[in-house]
Structure 1
Amino acid sequence: MNRIWTLFYTFFKIGALSIGGGYAIIPLIQEQVVERAGWVSEKVFTDIITISQMTPGPLAVNTSTFVGLQIAGVPGAVAATVGCVLCGVALSLVLYAFFRRYRRSVYVFEVLGGLKAASLGLIMSAAGTILLLAFFGTGAPAPGAMPDWAALAVFAASLFALRRWKLNPVLLMAVTGVLGLFLY
């Protein structure tokens, strides 16, 4: 039961700080789940992020559900998911009332501009974390570490195919998933 409450509280904090959306919050989730709590390895976390991206729904919510399921089964999944969304729902209701009242304020629009810039930085940080995990298997590779050349080649080929032939991303994910079965 203690683990359930710990999952709830951890993901409540993550949900409270998830400004910028799912991709922006990946480094915080990784810090809490992999580095601090040690609930999953970086490899398992990368797999959870991959699955969370492929399933319908918000990335942070899907990730919390999968981590909770991994740690404490269905009760853990429910606790982590509720913890992740509870603060966001409450904050959304408060912000809705606030913006309805001050919707014409110049200051509110200036604050939102600053938040957009911060969100972009968080998303770029998340992209860097995902790339490091994919290419080096860790969020902070050791100096002189060699990348996973197969992962780098698949990434480069996928990026090229997306840009050159405008392939359907779902089809590309299916093809690279099958390719991953043979490579790994």
Structure 2
Amino acid sequence: MTFLAPLLRLPEKTLQVLGRAMREVEYVHSSGRGRNAHRLTHLEVARILIAVMVSESTTTGVERLPHFAALPLKAKSNQNTTFEVAFAHLLKRYAEGEARTWYVEIDIGMSEAKIGTQLWEEGFGHEEHVFGLDFDDEDFKLASDDYPLPYLCSIQRKSLIHGSTLKAISRRVFADGEVN
């Protein structure tokens, strides 16, 4: 995972610790070494990026990962997907040469994530997919002990990865259509 360090501008040590923690809880698989080493899947790279985005602490990032990865798509549509699955699909599209420039944003306090197109692109309409809890949904029932926004605080915290970085990650990790 240290190959992501220059792309994300993070210390290699941070990603080494994150990788170890994610392997321990089986969010990322590991097997073999060298040429026989496990190749990351699109879903595993999405999980790594989500963990990095939701906290500056590797331990906290891994603890928060299940919550943010499982955020459902808010749109009323036939799609029944989660944020991690949609993020993995986006990485796959970039690896396959997707022409549009997308961004990924997480609002930690509001437990909300967005995948959208850059607004300044010409020739394409703006598109945005929002993942989170839909408090207006008739099916949303809040149990008395549950608090739907576990990371809400007085300071708004957001994390964003621009399309150029997502493209660079996809090209580096999934070169030649094969997961490295």
TM-score range, shorter chain: under 0.3
Higher relative contact order (CA 8 A, sep 6+): 1
More strand by share: 2
Rg (Cα) greater in structure: 1
Q: What TM-score, normalized by structure 2, do the two folds share?
A: 0.26
Q: What TM-score, normalized by structure 1, do the two folds share?
A: 0.26
More helix by share: 1
